[in-house]
Amino acid sequence: MKVIIARYGEIHLRKGNRGIFIKQLEKNTGLKVADERIVCEYDEKIFNKLQRTFGITSVSIGEQVKHLEILDEIEKMRFDGTFKVSVNRADRTFEYRSPELNAICGDIILKNNKNAKVDLVNPKTTIYIDIRPNDRAFIFKHRRRGPGGLPVGVSGRGLSLISGGIDSPVSSYLGAKRGLSIDFLHFASPPYTSEQALNKVKKLCGIVANYSMNCKLFVVPFTKIQEEIRKHCKEEYTITIMRRFMLVIAEKFKYDCIITGENLAQVASQTVEGIASNNCVAGNSLVLRPLIFADKEEIIEKAKQIGTYETSILPYEDCCTVFVPRHPIIKPDIKKVEEEEKKLDFNKLAEEAYNEVCIHKVVSLEE
């Protein structure tokens, strides 16, 4: 029978939580874990999904046979070039030891394939024979790397602040990779920001949802807050106060943590002092910034790898780009920021915006 064999990683190491991880992996894939692997009949859709499922370290397509059928299966193989046979004898009762079976299979392959040649160091093809208990064995030629990480959901729930730029989709992906189940929060400022800009954010969420699952996108109107800031506060504090509003509103959703794409010193508002000025408004909430020390090149590379880059660079405006001060304050002093905020009804504006949230179901683009 042609099967998919998927293996999981790190969850191995964390013995205490193992049961929880395996249950989550089974829930996320809809497949059963037995004998430390997922094995199911081959299906292209499942194969593709497993390659995007956090917690999976490698995926192979192969044949499942009974122990007595192993040599018949090897007899059928036809290929050219260098090869080696790699036997894993997980069932210690199997009649041949690994080196013996290696040699027997190698001889069969050489006999049937005139252009095949053994190369133990750098073979073109490796034939894996994995002998499992309960009269099962798997024979496969390729091992594809899975995405690694931990099954989405085992680390709790994270609310990711997503802007439509390059950084925040990557930080959301990294949160999901460490087992956070992700929902998104976006601040939109119509009519200053367009429907296309919002569609772009929805698309980015859809791409990240290929890796996380069942995501929601919360869209909170930000226009009134931005207009009030512009009317009443000193221009150079605009960005600082906007960021603080974002975090105060994010807290109201009561997730286990908040994720942002902030990156140290990338822009004027992301200095240590700038980040500290929004960190302190978040009360007791944990704000995670997975990209804090990454270089822009590294972030771009990751964005290309996960498939968000091309969408992120589409030139639509973000609420942060429509009211930019000419000279944003680079090292904001918290006391002065608070003085500026006193000119507004901060809590009421935040509460009103929160109450006007629109909830969208995120459609994973691959499904």
> CA-to-CA distance for 328 and 318, rounded, in angstroms?
17
> CA-to-CA distance for 199 and 168, rounded, in angstroms?
16
| Nearest residue (CB) to Mg ion, 151 versus 165 | 165
CB-CB neighbours of 72 under 10 Å: 11
CB of residue 166 to Mg ion, shortest distance in Å: 8
The amino acid occupying position 334 is I
- 194 touches ligand ATP by CB under 6 A: no
The binding track of 140-169 with respect to ligand ATP, each residue x by CB under 6 A or -, is ---------------------xxx-xxxx-
CB of residue 163 to Mg ion, shortest distance in Å: 4
| Nearest residue (CB) to Mg ion, 163 versus 226 | 163
CB of residue 57 to Mg ion, shortest distance in Å: 33
Q: Are 220 and 188 in contact (CB under 8 A)?
A: yes
DSSP-assigned beta bridge partners for residue 358 = 219
Exactly one of 73, 183, 318, 341 binds ligand ATP (CB under 6 A); that residue is 318
The binding track of 174-193 with respect to ligand ATP, each residue x by CB under 6 A or -, is -----------xxx------
- 64 touches ligand ATP by CB under 6 A: no
Q: Which CA distances in Å does 171 have to 101, 162, 174, 313?
A: 47, 9, 5, 16
CB-CB neighbours of 186 under 10 Å: 27
- 98 touches ligand ATP by CB under 6 A: no
187 binds, among Mg ion, ligand ATP, none (CB under 5 to 8 A by kind): ligand ATP
**Torsion of the alpha carbons at 211, 262, 200 and 363, rounded to the nearest 10:** 30
Alpha helices in the chain (DSSP H): 18-29, 44-50, 70-76, 98-112, 167-177, 195-208, 223-232, 238-251, 272-279, 296-306, 309-312, 319-322, 334-341, 346-355
- 199 touches ligand ATP by CB under 6 A: no
> CA-to-CA distance for 274 and 154, rounded, in angstroms?
32
Can you tell me which residue has the tokens 């509460």? Answer: 351
CB of residue 347 to ligand ATP, shortest distance in Å: 20
- 320 touches ligand ATP by CB under 6 A: yes
The CB-nearest residue to ligand ATP is 165
| Nearest residue (CB) to ligand ATP, 161 versus 294 | 161
The CB-nearest residue to Mg ion is 165
| Nearest residue (CB) to Mg ion, 163 versus 223 | 163
- 165 touches Mg ion by CB under 5 A: yes
Tokens encoding 100: 């013996």
| Nearest residue (CB) to ligand ATP, 166 versus 233 | 166
- 260 touches ligand ATP by CB under 6 A: yes
> CA-to-CA distance for 245 and 180, rounded, in angstroms?
24
Exactly one of 130, 183, 262, 340 binds ligand ATP (CB under 6 A); that residue is 262
CB of residue 208 to Mg ion, shortest distance in Å: 16
| Nearest residue (CB) to Mg ion, 204 versus 229 | 204
Strands 37-41 and 33-34: antiparallel
Exactly one of 60, 160, 163, 277 binds Mg ion (CB under 5 A); that residue is 163
CB of residue 283 to ligand ATP, shortest distance in Å: 18
Tokens encoding 115: 């252009």
Buried b / exposed e over 273-310, threshold 16 CB at 10 Å, is ebbebbbebbeebebbbbbbebeeeebbebbeebbbbe
- 319 touches ligand ATP by CB under 6 A: yes
Q: Which region among 38-46, 155-163, 179-187, 326-334 touches Mg ion (by CB under 5 A)?
A: 155-163
| Nearest residue (CB) to ligand ATP, 116 versus 275 | 275
Buried b / exposed e over 193-225, threshold 16 CB at 10 Å, is beeebbebbbbbbbbbbbbbbebebbbbbbbeb
Applying CB under 6 A, which residues contact ligand ATP?
161-163, 165-168, 185-187, 246, 260-262, 266-267, 269, 318-320
Applying CB under 5 A, which residues contact Mg ion?
163, 165
